[in-house]
Structure 1
Amino acid sequence: MKNLEKKIEELAAAIEKELIALRRDFHQNPELGFEEIETSRKVAAYLEKLGIEIKTGVGRTGVVGILQGDSPGPVIAFRADMDALPVTEKTGVEYASKIPGKMHACGHDGHTAILLATARVLSQLKSELKGTVKFIFQPAEEGPGGALPMIEDGVLTDPDVDAIFGLHLWPGFKVGEIGVGYGAIMAAPDQFTLKIRGRGGHGSAPHEAVDAITVAAQVINGLQHIISRQIAPTQPVVVTIGTIKGGYRHNIIADEVEMTGTVRTLSPAVRDEVPERMEEIIKGITSGFGADYELEYTKLYPPVINDQKMVDLVKEVANKVLGPDGVKIIKEPSMGGEDFSFYLEKVSGAFFRLGCSSGPETSYPLHHPKFNIDEKALLYGVKLFCNLAFSF
């Protein structure tokens, strides 16, 4: 295995400039969810040159590469998301986005480049590979979600995947570090739209109307009681009202208020409980004030729940690639969402964070218009994926 680790190190180092060039090309030409036509074309062409079997149009704009080793064995999958965000870039770098209003502000350009380089290294080690590797290039992680459409198109079958791994470039960790956690590490990011319907009237005669704005205020306060009084304090829950719209004029009592919000949970059981609690509270408050309501609750991505054995494997590999000091255990999960969770509902796997920060210029948070990475992080991602393939 030591000899193999050395080969991976040498092969990966030899293509570092190409790896960075790939990332910069994707960065300059960002495409939003399910619009990744050119990105998918480039990915497919690169894999084809490596002699890797490819499938295109998986989950609309997704691409899958299949590399069969010279010896039989298990099937491992790696996933990279390809989509950008509707953000105007403000980094000022020479390879900044060429598309106004679109930017790779979440590192997906790096994820795609890492997985392509992983495919190149592993294709050169095909004779030593015992099993099959699937390279999953997924659209629309930022929304509406590309993982589920790819699963529905059979990405985890033919051949059946035994384990899956994914990474996310993370400015909260330094280059040469990873963060990995057991169990739920990211939340289910569900959303809702709520309409409160009252009865309009003149501002001077509130007793003749049902004020949708004051009812909405009571509902907002009531919803926070779900967290503070109805869910166990050991269970993290977030209920956020993001927008509220209502009213016409300073002296008119509003007949309707519309609000939108998000609910974040880590437990599947609590996830099912929250909308029921919301309905009870909203119904009670609105009926008590003589108003009515309409609640539209949408479940998006499940929580990301890592498999214990797969986390142990990531730690074992990272200890060799990065050294013990480079492996950080995530003790507090993120309440952000990730549709990698859909894969983990079907097969064992782990999702981990790849450090990409080395100073102020690479420390901006995800989705920030100045988000950028230290490109030295890319090579670590390739080495981790390649060693995971052989270790699994």
Structure 2
Amino acid sequence: MADPETAGSDTFGSETSRSDASHSEAWIEAINDAAKELGGGWIALRRYLHQHPELSGHETLTTQYLKTLLAKLDLPIRVAGDGRGLIADMVTDKALANHPRIAIRGDIDALPIQDEKSVAYHSTVDGVMHACGHDVHATVIVAAMQLLSQLQHTGRLPWPIAARAILQPAEETAEGALHMIHHHALADVGAVLALHVDPTRQVGCVGLREHAFTAACDMLEVRFIGSGGHAARPHLTNDPIDACTRWIQSAYRRVHRAINAHDTVVLSIGMIDAGHSPNVIPDTATIKGTLRSLSVEARRRTLEVLEDVGEATARETGCEVRLRLGSSAPGVMNDPALIRLLHDSAIQVLNPASVDWIDEPSMGSEDFSFYLEHVPGAMFRLGVAGDQVGGAPLHTGNFDVDEHAIAHAAKLFAASIINYFDPDR
């Protein structure tokens, strides 16, 4: 027979556990209910943004539209400098007024790509479209804040929270995060979360990875200065096009022979600008590309190799070779504790099978990394591929998403914010 004190203690503990579980289930159910109610509006918002894209550096109308939506939640809002980008705070208890907030960040700029889809929400701006999912990212941030606001106003928020929405411009040019940081987007922020759509994952799937998540990226420009002349007499010139092609071939070969095979480095040239006539050797040629790396040492060594390639090319061709680094972004390093927060929250509001652990970091880049130089943060990948739509690659004219993914991401953000402030966590 069990000891009465022990039996009583066990019984009390079971009742407490059931009470806690019931409390947790209540706000999870509230999130799911609110998502069903609001989901149609989220799809409409995403389609509006898709129809009205703005390029990096020009996101003023998008900023104003999103400000109008968030203002309906009666939140304090600040628009960043030049009228591009905004932040909105939700602090549900005066006791948290000076407490560090957790921020959720979305980007709002589009790309100079022609929309080739035959859909009702086709881009109305010729040569500009949301080909990287930033319309989805922005919609998810607004949606998450709407969910939290609805729980607060219906009394179903389990405890006080302090959250911030960051909607930033110019991610594609790696300038927007610095722009927002300069305008105090991280003031009073203790952690930051973000997402990126992923057409290689099915709707309902969330990709998570601790530590290295994306590569560092440097923009490269190499200018070749020679002396042009008639195409019939190349011996009287120092041909910059010859220098340009030699540099590219040598750089591609040398980088992958000089860098440790365990240190992933990707060098890609995406632009060549030289000449104006088929029978004239020009005076100059310019190439532009990117260097992506996962370690500081690999990046340093690669840049040394490229300098050597430039010196060798100059000796062989008689041209001056100038290598210049443009904008760059460090790699995204996901905080393990915040990844666990996302993992636990995904299991609560999605399902255990929704989490897909990512084996290797992406060689893509993200200016979300600039925030992580100031506060811990984490980014996840959101599956957007459905049975009928969502499988086209990023940065292509046919890119689209299965819009059911919006609700998944909004619920995940809302649950993560609530769990972040769980008194027992």
TM-score (norm 1): 0.92
Q: Which residue of 1 aligns with 2:9?
A: none
Q: Provide closer, same or farther for how the CA distance between residues 40 and 281 of structure 1 changes in structure 2, counting only shifts above 3 A.
A: same
Residues 48 and 54, structure 1, Cα contact 8 Å, conserved in 2: yes
Q: Which residue of 2 aligns with 1:256?
A: 284
Name the amino acid aligned to 2:166: I
Which is worse superposed, 116-125 or 127-136? 127-136
Q: What is the DSSP-based 3-state SS (H/G/I as helix, E as strand, rest coil) of the residue aligned with 2:389?
A: helix
1:152 pairs with 2:193: no
Name the amino acid aligned to 1:122: L
Q: What is the DSSP-based 3-state SS (H/G/I as helix, E as strand, rest coil) of the residue aligned with 1:32?
A: coil
Match for residue 211 of structure 1 among 239, 261, 264: 239
Q: Deviations over 1:290-348 (max 9, x none)?
A: 33212221142211121122112212211222322211111122222211111112111
1:196 pairs with 2:224: yes
1:80 pairs with 2:73: no
Q: Which runs of 5+ in 2 are unaligned?
A: 1-23, 421-425
Distance in 2 between residues matched to 1:240 and 1:93, nearest whole Å: 33
Q: Which residue of 1 aligns with 2:302?
A: 274
Name the amino acid aligned to 1:234: H
Q: Deviations over 1:122-142 (max 9, x none)?
A: 123346443310000111112
**Shift, 1:247, TM fit:** 5.0
CA RMSD in angstroms comes to: 2.2
**Shift, 1:182, TM fit:** 2.0
Q: Provide closer, same or farther for how the CA distance between residues 374 and 286 of structure 1 changes in structure 2, counting only shifts above 3 A.
A: same
Q: What is the DSSP-based 3-state SS (H/G/I as helix, E as strand, rest coil) of the residue aligned with 1:186?
A: coil
Distance in 2 between residues matched to 1:251 and 1:376, nearest whole Å: 56
**Shift, 1:209, TM fit:** 4.0
Name the amino acid aligned to 2:226: G
1:103 pairs with 2:133: no
Match for residue 67 of structure 1 among 69, 84, 90: 90
Residues 59 and 151, structure 1, Cα contact 8 Å, conserved in 2: no
Distance in 1 between residues matched to 2:150 and 2:218, nearest whole Å: 42
Name the amino acid aligned to 1:79: R
Match for residue 204 of structure 2 among 173, 176, 189: 176
1:336 pairs with 2:359: no
More strand as a share of residues = 1
Counterparts of 1:1-392 in structure 2, within 5 Å, are 1-58=24-81, 60-70=83-93, 71-72=95-96, 73-126=99-152, 128-143=158-173, 145-157=175-187, 160-200=188-228, 207-246=235-274, 255-392=283-420
Q: Provide closer, same or farther for how the CA distance between residues 217 and 27 of structure 1 changes in structure 2, counting only shifts above 3 A.
A: closer
Q: What is the DSSP-based 3-state SS (H/G/I as helix, E as strand, rest coil) of the residue aligned with 2:213?
A: strand
Residues 77 and 135, structure 1, Cα contact 8 Å, conserved in 2: yes
Q: Deviations over 1:23-51 (max 9, x none)?
A: 12212222222322222112112222111
Q: Deviations over 1:56-88 (max 9, x none)?
A: 135741110000022535410001111122222
Aligned sequence identity (%): 36
Q: What is the DSSP-based 3-state SS (H/G/I as helix, E as strand, rest coil) of the residue aligned with 1:334?
A: coil
**Shift, 1:104, TM fit:** 1.7
**Shift, 1:277, TM fit:** 2.6
Name the amino acid aligned to 2:405: A
Name the amino acid aligned to 1:216: C
Which has the higher Rg, Structure 1 or Structure 2? 2
Which is worse superposed, 308-317 or 204-213? 204-213
**Shift, 1:251, TM fit:** 6.3
Residues 80 and 183, structure 2, Cα contact 8 Å, conserved in 1: no
Q: Which runs of 5+ in 1 are unaligned?
A: none
Distance in 2 between residues matched to 1:173 and 1:232, nearest whole Å: 31
Q: What is the DSSP-based 3-state SS (H/G/I as helix, E as strand, rest coil) of the residue aligned with 2:189?
A: coil
Q: What is the DSSP-based 3-state SS (H/G/I as helix, E as strand, rest coil) of the residue aligned with 1:242?
A: strand
Distance in 1 between residues matched to 2:47 and 2:274, nearest whole Å: 45
Residues 33 and 144, structure 1, Cα contact 8 Å, conserved in 2: no
**Shift, 1:249, TM fit:** 6.0
